[in-house]
């Protein structure tokens, strides 16, 4: 960071701060309210996920993937098991694919709800946060019904899922979706179209498409910049190619393309798309055994695999190297939130401290995934 | 100029829309309220998670419980545990499948498996447990599951097991075996003649 | 119970004018303090309940008569007050200790002085000045000195940010508030709060009460500008940038705890009370009944005044639990480019209106 000159001062935002979304420390050099440089300090939540994975068996890695992106554990599991199945060349039963997609999309809604609610909180609106948490809670209830856990599921296994869906799950889920869709309108009226909210987010923290691509920003953050890239559509994994859904991209309707509002708005639209996928999946889900393809002992052949999936935060990639033993030789996780955070310095230079909070919130980082 | 006033109108309009929503929620609080008065009211547990013998698999993520009489000491759960919170010591039973009343050991499990080992220590450190449920699947006798309390059998499911002392979270499941008894079991003396 | 009355009363008892004055001031200060404390206790409780109901919660329920899960948490604020009073009073090692300790009192004095001129009814007013409106606006800005002192003395970057933001905000919003309150002064031709309220008796257009807000379109707009500026002056959402929780942790209050913090809290709610009282007196007919000629005995006067005032305080709470917060520059933008031009225009408009119709 160097020597502080003249009127500048260094301000530490975090590690204990209400809106760093975990334990992140931002070393901010400011001139009054204007930010001239940001240096994020990571590692407060480092738990050696990758090294740890080299010492446990393949199935024991799954609980640790839960703890990386703890707001979208299902999607973290999903990425890992898809990669493992590619490595072991397992074909899972159709029901498993459907269950996984239902769980993944439900968790995407839950994660986006939290991201949007907390974003409102960062901007200063308390009430939408509680409304969104209320609805997220219903999704967690469904997860509890399915696998007993509310946050860290360990639900998806290599070659299957741990439990079949409970008896009335389809009915409960459809009931939730029917309840939930009108709520989106209410969120929009309460927060999204609020003029103060638009003023705070539109034109702020613009990530142009080329900057986003060069920093490797993915997911809703990239789509907010107008790049139509979604792994679910462009490199379909599991059975995502069977479903009909759009990829919402930012339009910059209230300001420049790629501003905080676009990233927020893309998430809001993605919730509706997830609802659409869920409705299709719940309609078509076949019967079957969910443990059929479960390997007795997971001992993949020598080799390696890289598979990326679309987590709510972006491209979640797993690179798994196998040396033929039951313990992975190497597990590397490509964390979408990490790359999103990397562009914070470039994006927020010249903005005010309040805007840094807004930009950080709009990137929707999860420190568990960044620090791993 | 018209943009200036359009802006003001837009502001007033959208803010009023938001205020109407919060007003509506305030007026309908009796209907919309989601708070539970926690110690008095509790969120009902989903129907699927109400007991041991429901479906083939146990979908609770609560405390781990072991029916120690069923345990054959195969160590499969310790190997499955990603955080090594299950610790088991075993002693070779003098005679396979025979009861040893003075240490409370039963020779056969309820499914009829004859035990070759005597479990002298079975501890689960619940403060280390990551609630992944992986230990319950490989168990051949289905004697470890995530439900209930530490040492009593078939406790009601609860999620409230905080303790003031960390050591109280280390649950002991094995029947108490004194060092003398252990010695006797490890070096069985031909007591028939005596 | 004006302070003048007490002075006269004590003066009649003997020939000690200084002692009579001091006694009168001290005695009339006690009800002000009681009102402040009561206001804070009630307003905090109401705020909690209002926020909870707006968020689909039920708010505090535990403390109250009947103890656990008793009666709607009625004693929650009392419990909070006890907690704040017995809490450790921390003073940071590197702070400017004298200023740090002084700041809460200065803020408190500002709020306290404002309360003295609030006209609860035609007789219940502690001090009836001939420049009451001016006085309330003037003592209202004493608080900013305390805020800057608190922020500077804390020797904390967040506090300093909060203090600087607060100073900029309060000083800016004094202007539209002042310009808007000129409108009722022009209409009534007096700065005396009692005379101002008395001028609002009767009806306008036959149906509406003759409150200044209903007098003409300019006064209608002026009320809203005054009220929003008043919200900004009391540092409440959407103008709570000095203590923006998600940005500045707690702004200028970050380092305070215990009783000193309680004084800040007391002053914040007292400020809400004072500015709402001024808005009621200036625009909403003060203690005048909304149905002219009915319900206007002394008891009803207090009821009407408090009713209107509570309504305005409720609207402030409603704002707070609905809106996000503005940014510093947007706040200034709203003040200088929207409120001040419109407030200026209002003054001209009212002047012309008075020339033509009045």
Looking at this predicted complex, what is its ipTM?
0.82
Residues of A whose CB is below 8 A from B50: none
Three-state SS annotation for A95-162? HHHHHHHHHHHHHHHHHHHHHHHHHHHHHCCCHHHHHHHHHHHHHHHHHHHHHCCCCCCCCEECCEEC
Distances (CA, A) of A36 to A29, A107, B37, C22: 6, 37, 48, 56
* Model confidence pLDDT, tens digit, residues B97-155: 777 777 777 777 777 777 777 788 888 888 888 888 888 888 887 788 777 655 444 55
Distance CA C129, CA C125 (A): 10
Q: How many CA atoms lie within 13 A of C43 on its CB side?
A: 27
Structure tokens at B128: 């280390």
Tracing tokens 């701060």 back to the chain, one arrives at A17
- Cβ distance of A124 and C328 shorter than 8 Å: no
| Predicted pLDDT at B55 | 52
Given pLDDT bands bounded at 50, 70 and 90, which one contains residue B194? very low
Domain limits of chain A? Answer: 3-371
* Range of weakest confidence among A172-176, A322-326, C5-9: C5-9
B126, B161 Cβ separation under 8 angstroms: yes
Mean model confidence pLDDT for chain B? 76
Handedness of CA A181, A182, A183, A188 (dihedral sign): positive
Nearest 10 degrees: Cα torsion C140, C142, C148, C154:
-100
Name the residue among C188, C210, C216 with its Cα closest to residue C292.
C210
* Model confidence pLDDT, tens digit, residues A342-354: 888 888 888 888 8
Tracing tokens 């003997």 back to the chain, one arrives at C14
* Range of weakest confidence among B80-94, C57-71, C156-170: C57-71
Distance CA A106, CA A137 (A): 12
C339 versus B193: the higher-pLDDT residue is C339
Residues of C whose CB is below 8 A from B22: 54, 318, 321-322
* Range of weakest confidence among A64-78, B40-54, C12-26, C217-231: B40-54
* Model confidence pLDDT, tens digit, residues C114-136: 888 888 877 777 777 788 888 88
Say whether the peptide bond before residue A15 is cis (omega within 30 degrees of 0). Answer: yes
Name which of A63, A189, A190 is nearest B132 (Cβ-Cβ): A63
Residues of B whose CB is below 8 A from A194: 14-15, 17-18
> Which distant-in-sequence residues (6+ apart) come within 8 Å of C166 by Cβ?
C144, C147, C148, C151, C235, C241, C242, C251, C252
CB contact B134 to A (< 8 Å): yes
Distances (CA, A) of C38 to A78, B146, C33, C269, C335: 57, 52, 8, 10, 33
CB contact C327 to A (< 8 Å): yes
* pLDDT over threshold 50, residue B174: yes
* Model confidence pLDDT, tens digit, residues B48-97: 665 555 455 567 777 787 877 778 888 888 888 888 888 888 887 777 77
Residues of A whose CB is below 8 A from B17: 189-190, 193-194
* Chain A touching partners, 3 or more CB pairs below 8 A: B, C
Distance CA C264, CA C254 (A): 12
Residues of B whose CB is below 8 A from A161: none
CB contact C238 to A (< 8 Å): yes
Given pLDDT bands bounded at 50, 70 and 90, which one contains residue A299? confident
Q: How many CA atoms lie within 13 A of A238 on its CB side?
A: 31
Mutate to test the interface with A, among B134, B135, B158 (most CBs of A within 10 A): B134
Residue of C nearest to B40 (CA): C69
Domain B64-186 grouped into CATH 3.30.70.3270: yes
| Predicted pLDDT at C350 | 87
CB contact B48 to A (< 8 Å): yes
DSSP bridge pairs for B87: B123
Cα distance from C56 to chain A (closest Cα, Å)?
8
Mean pLDDT throughout C22-28? Answer: 78
A138, A129 Cβ separation under 8 angstroms: no
* pLDDT > 90: percent of chain A: 2
Domain limits of chain B? Answer: 2-32, 64-186
Q: How far is CA B57 from the centre of its chain?
A: 14
In the stretch 144-203 of chain A, residues with CB closer than 8 A to chain C read 190-191, 194, 196-197, 199-200
* Model confidence pLDDT, tens digit, residues C206-263: 677 778 787 788 888 888 888 888 888 888 878 887 777 777 877 788 888 888 888 8
Residues of C whose CB is below 8 A from B26: 50, 53-54
Mean model confidence pLDDT for chain C? 82
CB contact C324 to A (< 8 Å): yes
- Cβ distance of C322 and B15 shorter than 8 Å: yes
Architecture per CATH, domain A3-371, reads as Orthogonal Bundle (1.10)
In the stretch 15-74 of chain C, residues with CB closer than 8 A to chain A read 51, 54-57
Residues of B whose CB is below 8 A from A145: 46-49
* Model confidence pLDDT, tens digit, residues A9-18: 888 887 888 8
Summarize chain B as % helix, strand, coil (round to 5).
30, 15, 55
CB contact C54 to B (< 8 Å): yes
Q: How many CA atoms lie within 13 A of B102 on its CB side?
A: 6
C278, C117 Cβ separation under 8 angstroms: no
* pLDDT over threshold 80, residue B45: no
Given pLDDT bands bounded at 50, 70 and 90, which one contains residue C138? confident
> Which distant-in-sequence residues (6+ apart) come within 8 Å of C85 by Cβ?
C258, C259, C262
A324 versus C62: the higher-pLDDT residue is A324
Return the number of CB contacts < 8 Å for A and B: 77
Mutate to test the interface with B, among A195, A200, A291 (most CBs of B within 10 A): A195
- Cβ distance of C322 and B18 shorter than 8 Å: yes
Residues of B whose CB is below 8 A from C338: 8
CB contact C247 to A (< 8 Å): yes
- Cβ distance of C246 and A194 shorter than 8 Å: no
- Cβ distance of B15 and C323 shorter than 8 Å: yes
Name which of C56, C61, C338 is nearest B34 (Cβ-Cβ): C56
Residue of B nearest to C320 (CA): B19
A316, A308 Cβ separation under 8 angstroms: yes
C193, C117 Cβ separation under 8 angstroms: yes
A209, A252 Cβ separation under 8 angstroms: no
Mean pLDDT throughout C47-67? Answer: 79
Phi, psi angles (nearest 5°) of residue C322: -115, -35
């Amino acid at each position: 960071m160097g020597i502080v000159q003249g009127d500048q001062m260094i301000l530490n935002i975090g590690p204990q701060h209400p809106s760093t979304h975990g334990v992140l420390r931002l070393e901010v050099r400011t001139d009054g309210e204007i930010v001239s440089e940001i240096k994020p300090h990571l590692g407060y939540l480092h738990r050696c996920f990758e090294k740890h994975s080299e010492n446990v068996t393949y199935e024991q890695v799954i609980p640790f993937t839960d703890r990386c992106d703890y707001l979208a554990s299902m999607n973290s599991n999903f990425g890992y098991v898809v990669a493992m199945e590619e490595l072991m060349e397992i074909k899972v039963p159709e029901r498993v694919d459907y269950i996984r997609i239902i769980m993944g999309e439900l968790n995407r809604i839950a994660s986006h709800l939290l991201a949007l609610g907390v974003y409102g909180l960062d901007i200063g609106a308390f009430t939408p946060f509680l409304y969104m948490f209320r609805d997220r809670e219903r999704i967690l209830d469904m997860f509890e019904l399915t696998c007993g856990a509310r946050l860290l599921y360990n639900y998806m296994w290599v070659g299957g899922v741990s439990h079949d869906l409970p008896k009335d799950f389809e009915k409960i889920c459809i009931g939730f979706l029917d309840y939930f869709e009108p709520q989106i309108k209410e969120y929009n009226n309460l927060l999204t179209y609020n003029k103060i909210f638009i003023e705070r987010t539109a034109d702020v923290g613009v990530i142009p498409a080329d900057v986003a691509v060069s920093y490797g920003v993915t997911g809703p953050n990239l789509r907010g910049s107008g790049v139509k890239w979604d792994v679910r559509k462009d490199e379909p994994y599991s059975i995502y190619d069977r479903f009909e859904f759009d990829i919402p991209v930012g339009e910059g309707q209230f300001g420049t393309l790629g501003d905080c509002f676009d990233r927020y708005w893309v998430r809001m639209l993605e919730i509706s798309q997830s609802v659409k996928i869920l409705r299709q999946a719940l309609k078509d889900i076949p019967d079957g055994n969910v443990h059929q393809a479960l390997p007795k002992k997971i001992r993949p052949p020598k080799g390696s695999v890289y598979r990326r999936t679309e987590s709510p935060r972006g491209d979640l990639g797993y690179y798994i190297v196998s040396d033929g033993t039951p313990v992975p030789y190497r597990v590397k996780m490509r964390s979408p939130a990490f790359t999103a955070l990397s562009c914070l310095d470039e994006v927020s230079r010249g903005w005010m401290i309040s805007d840094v909070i807004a930009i950080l919130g709009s990137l929707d980082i999860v420190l568990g995934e960044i620090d791993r | 100029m018209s943009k200036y006033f359009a802006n003001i109108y837009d502001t007033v309009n959208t803010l009023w829309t938001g205020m109407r929503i919060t007003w509506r929620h305030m007026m309908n609080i009796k209907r919309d309220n989601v708070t539970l008065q926690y110690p008095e009211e509790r969120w009902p547990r989903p129907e699927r998670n109400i007991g041991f013998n429901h479906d083939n698999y146990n979908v609770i993520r609560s405390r781990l419980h072991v029916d120690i009489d069923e345990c054959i000491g195969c160590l499969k759960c310790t190997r499955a545990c990603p955080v090594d919170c299950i610790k088991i010591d075993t002693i070779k039973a003098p005679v396979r499948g025979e009861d040893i009343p003075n240490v409370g050991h039963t020779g056969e499990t309820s499914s009829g498996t004859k035990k070759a080992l005597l479990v002298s220590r079975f501890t689960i450190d619940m403060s280390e447990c990551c609630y992944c449920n992986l230990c319950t699947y490989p168990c051949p006798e289905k004697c470890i599951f995530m439900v209930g309390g530490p040492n009593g059998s078939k406790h009601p499911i609860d999620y409230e097991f905080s303790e003031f002392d960390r050591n109280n979270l280390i649950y002991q499941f094995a029947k108490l075996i004194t060092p003398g008894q252990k010695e006797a079991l490890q070096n069985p003396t031909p007591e028939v003649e005596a | 119970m004006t302070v003048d009355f007490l002075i006269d009363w004590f003066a009649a008892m003997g020939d000690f004018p200084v002692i009579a004055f001091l006694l009168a001031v001290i005695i009339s200060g006690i009800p002000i303090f009681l009102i402040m404390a009561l206001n804070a206790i009630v307003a905090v409780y109401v705020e909690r309940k209002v926020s909870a109901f707006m968020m689909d919660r039920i708010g505090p329920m535990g403390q109250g008569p009947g103890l656990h899960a008793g009666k709607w948490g009625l004693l929650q604020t009392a419990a909070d007050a006890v907690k704040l009073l017995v809490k450790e009073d921390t003073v940071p090692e590197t702070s400017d200790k004298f200023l740090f300790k002084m700041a809460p009192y200065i803020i408190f004095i500002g709020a306290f002085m404002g309360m003295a001129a609030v006209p609860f009814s035609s007789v219940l007013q502690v001090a009836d000045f001939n420049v009451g409106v001016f006085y309330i606006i003037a003592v209202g800005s004493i608080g900013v000195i305390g805020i800057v002192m608190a922020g500077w003395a804390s020797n904390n970057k967040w506090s300093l940010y909060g203090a600087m933001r607060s100073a900029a905000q309060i000083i800016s919003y004094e202007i539209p508030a002042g310009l808007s309150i000129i409108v009722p002064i022009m209409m009534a031709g007096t700065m005396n709060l009692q005379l101002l309220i008395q001028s609002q008796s009767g009806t306008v257009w036959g149906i509406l009460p003759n409150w200044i807000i209903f007098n003409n379109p300019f006064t209608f707009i002026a009320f809203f500008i005054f009220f929003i500026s008043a919200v900004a002056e009391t540092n409440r959402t959407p103008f709570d940038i000095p203590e923006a929780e998600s940005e500045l942790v707690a702004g200028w209050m970050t380092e305070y705890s215990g009783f000193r913090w309680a004084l800040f809290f007391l002053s914040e709610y007292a400020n809400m009370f004072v500015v709402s009282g001024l808005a009621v007196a200036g625009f909403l007919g003060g203690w005048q009944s909304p149905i002219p000629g009915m319900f206007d005995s002394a008891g009803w006067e207090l009821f009407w005044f408090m009713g209107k005032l509570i309504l305005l305080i409720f609207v402030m709470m409603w704002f707070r639990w609905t809106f996000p917060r503005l940014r510093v520059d947007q706040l200034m933008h709203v003040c200088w480019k929207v409120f001040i031009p419109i407030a200026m225009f209002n003054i001209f408009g009212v002047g012309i209106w008075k020339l033509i119709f009045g």
